[in-house]
Amino acid sequence: MKLRHLEMTLQHVCGFLRPQAALEQYQTPAPLAARLLYHALMKGDIEGKTVLDLGCGTGVLAIGAALLGAASVIGVDIDERALAVARENAVLLGTEVRFLAVDVREGGCRERIGACDTVVMNPPFGAQKAHADRPFIDLALSIAPVTYSIFNAGSAQFIETYTAQRAKIDEKVGGIFPMRRTFPFHTQDVQEIEVEILRLIRKQ
């Protein structure tokens, strides 16, 4: 599947019905999701691989990974209502994804989910609750040798320091997250947030 086709297909993924600010529920727009996934595909991290989407929301990254030929895909999220939409999205787009209700902060989730080859994620950036992204990073690195994650632009330095003993950032791709007015504290119809997609490689 070509990048443009992936992007057009992912436009059909339904978003959060009632997004919750406390969980930083922002659906990744199709062009950004397609960009992350296609990049991972080109690096050999999707096709034939077991892929995990942490904080999958309504499933755009998980479903995209399945469309690009992942051997199996799991999406996990704390929010059952988002998972219900994700399940419908997966069926709508003719993909098979296992969706599980998991709080990434809980002990034992690594065992529940099992090991996999690649993590793709757009975790909370920590705008509502400081460091909300940390349990996602910790779990991703404990589960898979390769992680692709979207962060606020300028986060690479912090992530590098935070993961220094465990991983190294081997790539950084810039992107734009056009954030639509979602919550009462948003003042503009669309705010373009600069983001970066990092590829983290676990140290042996």
Half-sphere exposure of 53 (CA within 13 A, CB side): 32
Q: Which is nearer to ligand SAH, 34 or 56 (CB)?
A: 56
Q: What is the largest CA-CA distance in the chain?
A: 45
45 binds ligand SAH (CB under 6 A): no
7 binds ligand SAH (CB under 6 A): no
**Cα 176 to Cα 192: distance, rounded to the nearest angstrom:** 6
For residue 98, give the nearest of 122, 70, 68, 75 by alpha carbon.
75
104 binds ligand SAH (CB under 6 A): yes
Distance of CA 164 to the CA centre of its chain: 21
103 binds ligand SAH (CB under 6 A): yes
Q: Give the x-and-dash track for 113-142 against ligand SAH (CB under 6 A).
A: ---------xxx------------------
- Look up tokens 């077991």; give the residue: 50
56 binds ligand SAH (CB under 6 A): yes
Interface residue with ligand SAH among 57, 74, 90, 117 (CB under 6 A) is 57
| Least CB distance to ligand SAH at residue 204 (A) | 27
Contact indicator for 149, 197 with CB cutoff of 8 Å: yes
Catalog residues that contact ligand SAH under the rule CB under 6 A.
Answer: 23-28, 55-57, 60-61, 77-79, 82, 102-105, 122-124
